[in-house]
Structures are given as C-alpha cells and as structure tokens.
Chain A
Amino acid sequence: MRERALWELLGPAILVALAATLGTAVSSAIQVYFINALVAVAMVGAIYVFVGNSGVLSFGHISFVAIGAWTAGVLTVPPDEKSGIMPNLFPFLLHASVGNLPSLLLAAAAGGVFALIVGLPLMRLSGLAASIATFGVLEITHNLLYFYDRIGPGSSAFSSVPETTGLLQAALGALAVVGVAFLYQRSRFGRMLRATREDPAAAQAVGVSVYRQRLLAFALSGALAGFAGALFIHLLPLTIQDMYLPLTLLTLAMLVVGGSSSLWGAVIGALAVSGLDSLFALAEGGMTIGAWQFALPSGTRIVAVSAVMALVLIVRPSGLTGGREFSLRALRRLALRMQRRGSTRYGPAEM
C-alpha cells in the first residue's frame, strides 16, 4: 500500500522530469515549447487540486493565475522602468521591488488569499450555480485588470518582467505543484474532499463539512494557480487577454482530456495537449518529415487542438487515464495486453 502511494507521486514526477530532460536536448527555439508545457503542468495541477478532488467545475482559476502573474510582474519589473510601462501605478507599488523567488511566493500568497476571499461566499454554491459564479469571478477579474491600470499595465503587455522561467525553473515549479497536490490528496483533508465528491450525503453523515473542505481546497488551489501565473509571467511578456477564455478552455480541456479525477491524469493531459499544440505550431512554421516537406496555414493549430480535444471527450469521456492514478500494476497489465494483442495478430491462428 505504501509503495503504491509512492508511485502515485513518482509516476507524474518522473514524467515531468523526463519532459524537462528532453527539453535540454533540443535547440532553444524548440525548448520554449517544453517550458510552456511545464508551466501548463503547473496550472493544470493547480486546477486539479480543486476541480479533481471536489468534482466541482471551476471557470475561475485562470483569474487566480492572472492575479499571481500581476503580483509577480508588478514586483519584479525594474523600478526605473516601471513608470514607463505602468504610468498610473500606485506610488507604493512603484518603488516596491523583490527578487525572482520572493515574487513566486508572493504570487502564490496573493492567489491563495484572493481565492479564499472569493471562496468564502462562493463555496456555498454547488452545481451549475457554482460554475456560473466562478465564471463571474473570471469576468470580473479580467475586466478590472484590463481597465484598472493603477495596479498593473492594464490592457498593454507586461513587458520588462525578468524572464527567469527557463527550463529549470519551469520544471522545478511543475514538480513543486505536483508535490503539493500529491501531499494534499493523501492528507485527511484531501480524503475528506474526495469523499464529498463521491457521495456528499454519506460524507456529511460521517461529519465532513462539504463547505469547509471545498473552501480549503479552493484556497490551496488558488495559491498554486497564483504560483503558476508567476511562472507564466516570468516566461514572456503577456497581456491580460492571454489569461482569459482561451486559457480557461485550454487548461480545463487538458484536465478533462487527461482524466480529471487523478493527478496522473492532470499531468498526462497537460503534457499531451501541449505536445500536440507544439507539434502543430511547428508544422505551421513548416517542417520536414522524411522527404515530405510542408507548412500548414496559420490558424490550423487551434482548429486541430480543439478538434482533438472534442474528439477525446466524445470517444473517451473519462479521459486518457480514465481518472486513475499511475501504478506499476496497471502499467504491467497494459504491457501484457499489448503483448497479447501483438501475438494474436502475428502468431499462429489458434482460435
């Protein structure tokens, strides 16, 4: 039992490490895609902590990503460039400046506090009302960050943020999120929340407060999302439009495509969809496979990615992993099945 629990962590962690190692072996133009994928793992892992464990769909998490990104961005733009990029900034923000690591932690704190405050009333809701209310949070945050330029660059791009999210920081960040998500889901709080997901009435009957457990997970997942947002803003200059509906769709789809009720599914989904997205991005730029050289028209990438996502949802609604955690036994079973299938195909016809 102990060993199986350990593999729940090791499976996703090894996969993240593998992706990062693979990223060191390619040219820097392609490395960007690997960094992006690792940041996506951090975001989807953060969303998984709430959505996966509670079973409640949230459209609001990208607003925590945006809050984290804004916090880290405002605090790390060099002070002498601040007034140029953000002329209407509050004076106390104009002079505040912190290093890379503190900015990541402060972003996590900001995301967590914001999620806690938002969650206090919202976690009373469930079902569709909860989904629409979290959507409202996304709309409001987007609207305020877009127009209120005393706390950030408003509608223009967040330039001059130190680009510290290289392969190493992205990989470590993704691992940190995976680790926290694992610790949470093995903790008694995580177990209680999962119990409410499976059967709210039974969970309540044994004394679990659905509200309190959801709120805790919401705040924790908000903190992780803020952290992921900080990784994101340290990657490249972003605008608030980059943290709105498309990213909400993409991250939610990653989670559902992977299998929303397991950490393994979250990581697989994030890496698989990012991988697909990157492949098509490369193909749009023109690529050669064997003697076949081609370039897809720009825009095919979003078409292909959303088509594949819809397709996976239709063909396999419980996700690629079926919502199960990584385990060696399942891996062995899969290998066995593949072997057997191979032998019946090529072996003598016995049946």
Chain B
Amino acid sequence: MSFTWQTLVDAVGLGAIYALMAVGIGLVFGVLRLVNFAYGQLIMAGAFALAVASERGWSVWVGILLCFGVVIALSLVMEWVVFRPLRTERPAVMLVATFAVAFLMQSVALLWFGALGKTAASLAYLNLPIAIGHVDIRKITIVAIAVAALCLLALVLLLGRTNVGLHMRAAAMDFRTARALGVRANRVITAAVLVSGALAAVVAVMLTVQNPLVNTDFALRDTIIVLAGVVVGGMRKLSSATLGGFAIGFVSGFLGGALPTNQSQYLPSLLFGLVILVLLIRPGGLFARGRGQVERV
C-alpha cells in the first residue's frame, strides 16, 4: 500500500460529496422512514440536464439552473406520485417501490439519451490540478469540500434556526406526536424532499466535473455505497448518517487510491466486507450514541 497526501486529499473530496448525498437520503428518511433508492437517478437526471446544456452550448449558469430545476421538479413529482400514497406502508414495500422508480427513471433515460450517454464538458476546467507544495490537488476537490461545508452549514442553520427546520426535527423524532402538536405533515415532508432534491442537484454538478461522461448508470454505484454508509453510520440521526456517508466516501476513495491496480478491482468486495463487519459489531450505527433500541435476534 502506498500512502500519499494526494490520496488523502482525494479521499476527503469524495467523502465530502458522499456526505452531501447522505444528508439528502437521511433527510427524507427522517420524516418518511423511507430509504430512497432512486436518489441516484435524481442525480443522474441532473447530470443529463447539465450534459444537454453543455452540448447545446448554453452557458454554465444556465446549465446549473436547468440541473436544479429538473432535479427539484422530479423529486417533488416523486413525492406526490410515489411517496405520498405509500407513506403508511411497510418499509419493504416502500423500498421496493423506490427500486422500481429508480429503474423506471433509468430506462426512460436510456430510451431518451441512448446507451452511449452524453458529455457534460462545460465545467471540465475545474478538473485541472493546481500544485500546493508537492501535492497536486484538482480544483474540484477544493470546490467539493468548500461546497459541502457551506451546504452543511446552511443545513445546520435551517434545521436549528428556522420554524421549518424545527418541524423537520420534530417529525424525524416522532412523526405522530409532532403532528398532534401542530406540525403539518405534508408541508414538512415537502420541505425535506425539496432540500434533499437541491442537494442532489449540487451533487450532480460536482460529480459531472469529476466524471463528464453521463450515462444511465451515472451515480448508481455512488448511491449504493452511500446507502450502505448511511446505514453503517446510523440512520436514526442525521448527523450520524452524514458522518457515515463521509466515512464510506473517505474509505472508498482512500482504498481506491492506495491499493495497487491489480487489487483495486476487488475494492467493492473489501468495502462491502467492511460494511457487513461494522453492521455485525454495531447494528445500530457506528456513530450512533449508546446502544439504543436496536433489535438483534
């Protein structure tokens, strides 16, 4: 294993992006108790929006605006059409339903854009490295870390200082009691879905810089890894879920950079082996405090 600062910085960059995805997944889980498998396809849709904008030669800002519009619109539609009718169903049904939605979106994208995918090139200059000391850092890594920090700060303010945030936290803690105390269910859920969608759009922008080739599998692997990370971190609290997302991104990025090439193909095995191990030792979450009421059989 070769260790360099380079790997470390890249790992932090990936961890930052995964942390944002974890927040997006964790927010919706908090109010709906729903694991949204289709989150990756929201990011994919945003990436396609960026790619279309860049192929038509529109300016970067128009592309980003389009990306936000598409992703937020899609997440609201998803909430109305899928989440709302299934709100009271068993978690298994909800999970399989989001699974189906994920494949629906993927296959629509396949039909629409074809198997070869599109290229989102307008932000590619951010992928160039700058040298700090002896370490070459790609600009996007710095941007990703900064944007993630800003988003998390904004989120902390939203959750801690606003009424909607207070309602969201209350709903996440105990939805029924919160409703009895005057929290409006639909409004709180819509707010959570909205913020979660906006985060997906942010992630879409940053992932397309790192990987400009957008096809229908875009962000699928990342979502699977983040979902595992979120559960490993501890789903019951947003902070532990976020930490879980960051941790799995960091570990994934670090191992990917540090393993020799002939072994890095087994990275997924190693990563998910670790995930299973952590789940066995701490089924309630790595960063969850206390043992809680985790069921073990």
Contacts and interface: CB of A to CB of B under 8 A. Distances in A.
- A complexed with B: yes
- Which secondary structure dominates where chain A touches chain B? helix
Please classify how large the interface on chain B is, using the bins under 10, 10 to 19, 20 to 34, 35 or more. Answer: 35 or more
B279 A129 contact: yes
B111 A136 contact: no
B162 interface: no
Given A121-B280, A252-B99, A306-B104, A140 B269 contact: yes
A313 B34 CA distance: 15
Interface string A297-328: 10110110011011001110100000000000
A126 interface: yes
A290 interface: no
B218 to A, nearest CB: 14
Interface string B266-287: 1011001101100110011000
Contacts of B128: none
Given A136-B273, A140-B273, A303 B104 contact: yes
Contacts of A249: 96, 99-100, 102-103
B291 interface: no
A250 to B, nearest CB: 9
Nearest to B228: A132
A126 B296 contact: yes
A66 interface: no
Interface stretch (B9-17, B50-58, B80-88): B80-88
A122 interface: yes
28 contacts: A122-B276, A124-B297, A125-B280, A125-B297, A127-B295, A128-B91, A129-B283, A132-B279, A135-B224, A136-B276, A136-B279, A143-B268, A143-B272, A210-B297, A211-B297, A252-B99, A253-B99, A302-B103, A302-B110, A303-B108, A306-B100, A306-B101, A310-B82, A310-B97, A313-B93, A314-B85, A315-B85, A317-B93
Interface of A: 55, 57, 121-129, 131-133, 135-137, 139-140, 142-144, 147, 200, 210-211, 214, 245-246, 249, 252-253, 256, 260, 297, 299-300, 302-303, 306-307, 309-310, 313-315, 317
Which 7 A-B residue pairings sit nearest by Cβ, starting from the closest?
Answer: A136-B272, A302-B107, A306-B104, A210-B297, A310-B100, A299-B111, A143-B268
